[in-house]
Amino acid sequence: MAIYKLIRPLAFAFDAETAHRATIAALRLMPARKIPAFAPSLASTVAGLRFASPVGLAAGFDKDGEVPDAMLALGFGFVEVGTVTPRPQAGNSKPRLFRLAEDRAVINRLGFNNRGQGSALERLAKRKRTGIVGVNIGANKDSVDRIADYVAGVRRMAAAADYLTLNISSPNTPGLRDLQAGDDLVELLAAVVEARGAGGPPLFLKVAPDLAEGDHERIVRAAIDRRIDALIVANTTVSRPPLKSFHAGELGGLSGAPLKTLALDALRCFRSASGGEIALIATGGIENADDAWARIIAGASLVQLYSALVYQGPGLALRIARGLAERLQREGFAYIAEAVASE
């Protein structure tokens, strides 16, 4: 944190997207480092995968799968790359990424800018496969058959992914969130499960925090019926809790501190709808070990973060992991799994 405090004003002197590109470029230049060791109490098995720490990097930071190993080396227990779409796409016009520093938040309307699944696959296929790297897949904006895009993504990316996440909750691809509704969701899940086949990686489903009453039960039922392995709760919000920053009025998905309450509420709704029948992964506004702990005791087996990294820098994942290990000890739990849903 001390070093990042010095670097941060420099990074913040650039617009958010330029600073992000520079960060990825710097991470690519970093010499390869080993994954750090974590307290044994932090290890858990979720969806058949062994996680050394429950603190993961959320999708969107490494959209093209350029730096998963650098992020694992920084102390993330798992890294989700993507969203990648079948074909490359430019995303929305710039500016489309905004820091809301006073709110410790971000608004983005990037619109799945990425170099396509082929390009990510090429890079990921060269990895040594140490540490858990998931691949988050989406549909192209101009796709005429979005379900077919997810099926193509599953087929293409399965070989390079420890798990696959179906992102049907980005607010920046018009109509994408409609896939969360009724028949479309049932059809999507049936198609991707078939495409994944028996030996493929676990499938996670990432949902929006902006759901109506009854949606949670419906999504949970569809996911359990199709044996989806976990729900990621949640993506960015289109709602606007009170914000102070200059960019508060920008269109797009809001993430970071103002999403905290909404994401925790959504997690509790999913936990009560599922009664523990499906694993939950919490994301949205997690800034410290207390936030991560609140999600775990509310039912999350794992957590992910992105926005807080912008404000707190690269030591954050390790700090949260250490804080969680201390918390487990203080509360008398031997393992993280014992604390899940214990509130």
Annotated active-site residue in 170, 274, 301, 307: 170
What helix, strand, coil percent values describe the chain, rounded to 5?
A: 45, 15, 40
Give the range of 32-40, 251-259, 290-298, 317-325 binding ligand FMN by CB under 6 A.
Answer: 251-259
Could you say which of 143, 236, 274, 312 contacts ligand FMN (CB under 6 A)?
236
Q: Distance between alpha carbon 274 and the CA centroid of its chain, in Å?
A: 20
* Residue 293 interacts with ligand FMN (CB under 6 A): yes or no: no
User: Quick check: is 170 catalytic?
Assistant: yes
Least Cα distance to 72 among 162, 206, 164, 3 occurs for 162
173 contributes a contact to ligand FMN by CB under 6 A: no
Indicate whether 299 belongs to the interface with ligand FMN (CB under 6 A).
no
105 DSSP assignment:
E
State the angle between helix axes of 316-331 and 289-297 in degrees (0 to 180), rounded to the nearest 10.
50
Rounding to the nearest 10 degrees, give the CA dihedral for residues 305, 284, 288, 267. -120
Residue closer to ligand FMN (CB basis): 41 or 163: 163
In three-state secondary structure terms, 47 is coil
Among 54, 153, 256, 299, binds ligand FMN (CB under 6 A): 256
Nearer to ligand FMN, 140 or 235 (CB): 235
Nearer CB in complex with ligand FMN: 41/171? 171
Q: Is 136 in the site for ligand FMN (CB under 6 A)?
A: yes
Query: C-beta of 332: minimal distance to ligand FMN in Å?
Result: 29
Rounded to a whole number of angstroms, the minimum distance from the CB of residue 286 to ligand FMN is: 5
Could you say which of 42, 46, 55, 59 contacts ligand FMN (CB under 6 A)?
59
**Spatial CB neighbours of 111, under 8 Å, sequence gap ≥ 6:** 89, 91, 92, 96, 141, 172, 173
Position 285 contacts ligand FMN (CB under 6 A) = yes
- Residue 150 has φ and ψ, to the nearest 5°, of -70, -40
Q: How many residues does the chain have?
A: 343
Please tell me the distance from the alpha carbon of residue 255 to that of residue 241, in angstroms, as a whole number: 11
**Position 183: which residue type?**
D
The verdict on 171 binding ligand FMN (CB under 6 A) reads: no
Assess contact for 84 and 63: CB atoms under 8 A. yes
Catalytic residues, by residue number, are: 170
The residues that touch ligand FMN, with contacts defined as CB under 6 A, are 58-60, 63, 82-83, 97, 106, 108, 110, 136, 167, 170, 206, 235-236, 255-256, 259, 283-286, 305-308
